[in-house]
Chains A and B, each alone.
Chain A
Amino acid sequence: MDGLFIVMVGALVAAAVYLLLARDLPRVLIGFVLLGTGVNLAILAAGRVGAMVPPLVPPGSSALPDVVANPLPQALILTAIVIGFGLTAFALMLVVKVYARFRTVAADDLTEAEGAATPAAATLASQTPLTRQEAA
């Protein structure tokens, strides 16, 4: 079982790193989602995968049965999923807004933040509208 988890985590993280290195913002975002999934699986594996019984107290009893899955990693992962959901949602909104504003999602074409900060960047920034028209 552990072996399977290791392979899965490895595959997910490898795919995630590949996507994170892309110049396209949506790809980067998908990469982040995959990375989060890989890390969540790693947490599950770190809590020892063994028992398949859900950690629920049966009706009429006041304690967990002896053999149950470790509830703590599940709680951690649930929290991490919630947080990941929020972060992904925000990043998605940002990418949508960026696309609506600049009509591009290529990281290379985004140079607004550098504009006018340094003399060199200022000249670059003045050229960008041209590049953007060419791209369109």
Chain B
Amino acid sequence: MNPSLILRTSAPLLLWMPLVVSLYVLVRGHNDPGGGFIGGLIAAGGVLFYAIARGPAAARAVLRLSPVALCGLGVLVATASGIPALLTPETPYLTHFWWFPTLGVTLPLGTALVFDLGVYLTVLGMASALFCALVEEAQ
């Protein structure tokens, strides 16, 4: 497999587009179709593209953390999003809380977003690990 010069050169640019879209989809998931899972997959799609263009090693390098570690981090973030609920005895684990701070516009924030972020990272890590392994095997 020998990707063309055009593909290799445009790879970094084309990696950022899915990443930005994935973040939009992640945040949008609060009230509309979208969310952490699909966002993570879109981001992983970008990583897959990068891995095909420049090789799995380069794709792993661009993620900074190893995919498996990213996965672990995601699970930790998602787990942590349930912890505020444990502070009061009436709310069982994973009860989510919301804040609507007004800074010019009203921002809907909440622990559910943290949970989604954890899902995003987990899916990104898992799918990247898998894609990189498959690309490696194919080469």
Contact = CB atoms under 8 A, between A and B. Distances in A.
A22 to B, nearest CB: 22
Classify the secondary structure of A's interface with B: helix
Contacts of B62: none
Contacts, number: 16
Classify the secondary structure of B's interface with A: helix
Contacts of A96: 134, 137
A93 B32 contact: no
B133 interface: yes
A93 B126 contact: no
Interface residue range, chain A: 10 to 19
B130 A82 contact: no
B97 to A, nearest CB: 17
Interface string B104-139: 000000000000000000000010001001100100
Contacts of A93: 130, 133-134, 137
Interface in A10-63: 56-57, 59
Interface of A: 56-57, 59, 82, 86, 89, 92-93, 96-97, 100
Given A59-B31, A93-B137, 14 more contacts: A56-B32, A56-B33, A57-B31, A82-B37, A86-B126, A89-B130, A92-B134, A93-B130, A93-B133, A93-B134, A96-B134, A96-B137, A97-B137, A100-B137
